[in-house]
Structure 1
């Protein structure tokens, strides 16, 4: 390609990438609103009928789950089946929230309750840590994990590590990132307060999912795989993760797509592990495991294909005369 064509390609490509990045990050944030947000309603049907009518006026905003009493609704919040619950009893109305699951959703539910009128008692069933009541530190931890994974996958590729050595390097780096992240987030900053080793495992698995994908695609198609995977994770994985709010607050199908990418699955798994004793962590952990497994498999496959190619005789060798 001539120098002039390269210049034109750069001039055209940079604005396109900038526009894509602005769309990926700004559009979901600008369209934040509840979409089939799981919400519980507890109490006798005659008492909750008015509450349900008020909630269903916002078409498609809430996915209502019915519970017999406050105890059942509280269990549902703690199991992450719902983000909160409105409990109607003869003594009054209560709103159960879980700010640890999403401070933004907890605030939204309080605003909904206030708009409905009447006195509503709010109970934070699973409160956010005192050192991070708004979840800012938690949300800030998603990007560094993605960057660590991209860096590890790129370094392994550029150093020329292949096969078992590459797999070992990726696993070891992810384990160290997990231990370090848990030491910083749990032991030092105290912005997560679950089982220390489980949190370290989620941090490490989230990192490995990204690093294995980067190194795996690069092993199959070459260094361009680094840029492709990094672009997927950074341009779509992070803004679509729902970590600052909740997947159900993002435009469809952004929220669902984000949960199939490592940043979104990692954020959801970490919330479940850190604040809800592992409730609802199975799905996102399996997603991360699939990413890691497929990526490591691609690393091994790429090494095998390259070894086979190098072992095949070249045409010159095949046509060389026998002395």
Structure 2
């Protein structure tokens, strides 16, 4: 038996290391725009040359057309596009939103400036929704994904290992997530100033992000045992974090990685947090529903696991009484 365990460790550790390296390094090494939503504003005759230049980057941009600068700004604030090129009488103007993704804002500035330089034009850049001065590169926000995931895993594992079940387990998960949300909002918004939206909306987002993970951990563990902790932890840490696009954008990751990442709690929580912090909740419905489904299914699994474990205890006395009842 000890020999088998030794062989298992020798084989599994390198395998997990290789898998972790693939999950984290591959998306990072293949970062590039893929159907990145970008607006073009102005008369069609004036924007034709701009569009032609952008389409030379095959598959990089998904072009959205707008009548004027005001419409393009509204689209950026609604999170329909990451930026827009506006053709004006003074020359091309680039609208960006570093709050949506500093990496994308820089990428757009480089691409549009390079294209304009080839025709001898100078581009004026306007940051429509800027990142906060205390976190201009968005590093603090993207770094919040890992602690939230870890908090959820710890809470779910704690509820499982302490033997909490049913209502007590659900109460512990919800209260713990709420406290994490309040504490994280106090740190990120009130102290560090890296979040700039409604304080309570941010706290709710952080709490929901934690609950989505903790409920999934406790729920699967309630159904399949403690192995469920490892399954969800693997899914969230090895896939959810590197596939989240929190440090860049989902459209910069290889497909289907960017899409899968938005179905997992880390990616959904990063997207939702940006929406409530910098865009007044624009485009928040999708990620909010994703996190809600994770939390609801997890809590439902906790209740189901408790019901399945309680059933034999209630059935035994009845079975014994039936066996002792005289026949005839």
1:22-54 CA distances to partner (integer Å, 9 max, x unpaired)? 000000000000000000000011111111011
Shift of residue 115 of structure 1?
1.0
Q: Please say if 1:233 is aligned against 2:236.
A: yes
| CA distance in 2: counterparts of 1:234 and 1:248, whole angstroms | 20
Shift of residue 268 of structure 1?
0.1
1:102-151 CA distances to partner (integer Å, 9 max, x unpaired)? 00000000000121112000000000000000011111111000000000
Query: Number of residue pairs matched?
Result: 321
Match of residue 253, structure 1, among 250, 253, 256 = 256
| CA distance in 1: counterparts of 2:297 and 2:307, whole angstroms | 15
Counting only pairs closer than 5 Å after superposition, residues 162-177 of structure 1 correspond to structure 2 as: 162-177=165-180
Change (3 A) 1:112 1:312: same
Matching residue of 1:88: 87
Matching residue of 1:263: 266
> Normalising by the residue count of structure 1, what TM-score does the alignment of the two structures yield?
0.97
Shift of residue 319 of structure 1?
11
| CA distance in 2: counterparts of 1:70 and 1:310, whole angstroms | 68
Matching residue of 1:29: 28
Counting only pairs closer than 5 Å after superposition, residues 91-240 of structure 1 correspond to structure 2 as: 91-116=90-115, 117=117, 118-240=121-243
Counting only pairs closer than 5 Å after superposition, residues 74-85 of structure 1 correspond to structure 2 as: 74-85=73-84
Matching residue of 1:15: 14
Q: Secondary structure at the match of 1:32?
A: coil
| CA distance in 1: counterparts of 2:112 and 2:38, whole angstroms | 12
> Normalising by the residue count of structure 2, what TM-score does the alignment of the two structures yield?
0.95
1:175-198 CA distances to partner (integer Å, 9 max, x unpaired)? 000000000000000000000000
| CA distance in 2: counterparts of 1:112 and 1:207, whole angstroms | 37
| CA distance in 1: counterparts of 2:172 and 2:324, whole angstroms | 44
Matching residue of 1:66: 65
Matching residue of 2:304: 301
Shift of residue 170 of structure 1?
0.3
| CA distance in 1: counterparts of 2:129 and 2:323, whole angstroms | 75
Shift of residue 3 of structure 1?
1.1
| CA distance in 1: counterparts of 2:80 and 2:127, whole angstroms | 16
Q: Which runs of 5+ in 2 are unaligned?
A: none
| CA distance in 2: counterparts of 1:109 and 1:276, whole angstroms | 20
Match of residue 279, structure 1, among 271, 282, 295 = 282
Q: Secondary structure at the match of 1:280?
A: coil
| CA distance in 2: counterparts of 1:60 and 1:189, whole angstroms | 38
Shift of residue 321 of structure 1?
8.0
Q: Which runs of 5+ in 1 are unaligned?
A: none
| CA distance in 2: counterparts of 1:166 and 1:309, whole angstroms | 20
1:210-246 CA distances to partner (integer Å, 9 max, x unpaired)? 0000000000000000010001000000000000000
| CA distance in 2: counterparts of 1:111 and 1:134, whole angstroms | 16
